[in-house]
Structure 1
Amino acid sequence: MLPFRTRRLIAAAAAVAGAIPLATTGTAPAAAAGDAMAQTLNCSGSIRVDITNTGAVDGKGTLRCATPSTSYDGQLKLSGSVTNVSGLVYQTRTTDQLSIFSGSTGEIIDLSVNRTLRKLSDAPSGNATEEGSGLVIGGGPFGGSTETESGAGTFGAGVVTTFLITNEYILDLHG
């Protein structure tokens, strides 16, 4: 009988060896729906989040996304509302739509996200941070995945408070 650690290493090596053919084929996430590796999607880029004085939230982003086997262009659209404002911190709940595409193939992933936008000063404009977490709504290759995100950038306040999260913005989906 092999020690537990050795059995675990053999099982991990077998799992990786089984995933290598998928990684070299450039399979779209929909075609790889049964593969656990397809449940990981990492995106980076920038987002713009607008908050009106009535508490409505909308925004968009341009991202570059990748699974372990394929890279995609991504577009993020979000809409929702402010759930709480406390000092310089805005809590929001949004329904986001992440569209990823590579050539003629792609996926639309619906997300439910709780997001915190934080002004780092009480000036009319300045630095800001953003962080969020949520769930994938519906099925598909990312069904059941959780979402996390974070980034930094700037804000400007007026009739609409705008957060431009352009530094180190990362959105990850993981099963």
Structure 2
Amino acid sequence: MKKVLLITLFSTLFCSALTAQIRVGGMLGTGTDIDRWGLGINAEYLFNEKMGVAPKLFFYFPEDTGVGKISFWELNADFHYYFLSEDVVSVYGLAGLNFLFGKINYDNDLFLDDRSDSDVGLNLGVGANFFVGKVIPFAELKYVAGGADQAVIFLGVKFPIAE
């Protein structure tokens, strides 16, 4: 029985690897709570035509407050479910985890220690890919529920590297 389960598991993984698509790219975005723009990188691994996972690393532009410099970055791990796929556009729902990291570097003349903090949140949202050749522009709107409740919008491009 164990051999049958192992053979079935490896066959499923091998077949899904044959049909998998991998896309990587960049993005521009902003959050309503942090209220700053930033840049990031993204990837998407599609298991099949309906489901995939998408990690994202995003850096908000730092802000100099006069007292110190505040910076934020976040790491996202989202699950995508494609509920509409046409020739030109595909629309997906997303759910996942958000890890937000913030740091303030105080000016040296204040003699204050630098501080940092992090929060974990849940992502819920929608996105769309637009197929216009080798480059795939995308837009994504999501809400992050957690320590830093905010709506986030990303605009970017993805490049297929494996199909």
What SS does structure 2 have at the residue aligned with 1:57? strand
Establish whether residue 174 from structure 1 lines up as the match of residue 138 from structure 2. Answer: no
Change over 3 Å in CA distance of 1:93–1:87 after alignment to 2: same
The answer as to 2:96 corresponding to 1:135 is no
**Do residues 60 (structure 1) and 28 (structure 2) align?**
yes
Give the drift of 1:148. Answer: 2.6
**Is the partner of 1:145 in helix, strand or coil?**
strand
Give 1:91's aligned residue: 53
Greater share of strand: 2
Query: 1:82 maps to what in 2?
Result: 44
Which residue of structure 2 lines up, in the alignment, with residue 145 of structure 1?
A: 119
The correspondence of residues 119-130 of structure 1 with structure 2, limited to 5 A, is 119-124=82-87, 125-130=89-94
Aligned residue number for residue 129 of structure 2: 155
Which residue type is aligned with residue 127 of structure 1?
V
- Quote the Cα distance in structure 1 between the aligned partners of 2:24 and 2:94: 17
Provide the identity percentage: 9
Pair 1:142–1:89, CA change in 2 (3 A) = farther
Contact kept, 8 Å, 2:57 with 2:76, in 1: the verdict is: yes
Amino acid at match of 2:134: V
Given that 1:145 and 1:173 are in contact with CA atoms closer than 8 Å, whether structure 2 keeps it comes out as yes
Specify whether residues 136 and 64 from structure 1 end up closer, same or farther in structure 2 by C-alpha distance, changes over 3 A only.
Answer: closer
* Structure 1 residues 55 and 126, CA gap change in structure 2 (3 angstroms): closer
How many residue pairs get aligned? The number is 115
Gaps of 5+ in 2: 1-20, 105-114, 149-163
Q: Is the 8 A contact 1:73 1:100 kept in 2?
A: no
Where does the alignment leave 5 or more consecutive residues of structure 1 unmatched?
1-52, 66-71
Deviations 1:49-95 (A, max 9, x none): xxxx7621321213321xxxxxx522242214334433222312222
Cα gap change, 1:127 to 1:150, in 2 (>3 Å) = same
Separation in 1 of the partners of 2:31 and 2:116? 17
- TM-score, with normalisation over the residues of structure 1? 0.49
Q: Write the letter of the residue equivalent to 1:87.
A: E
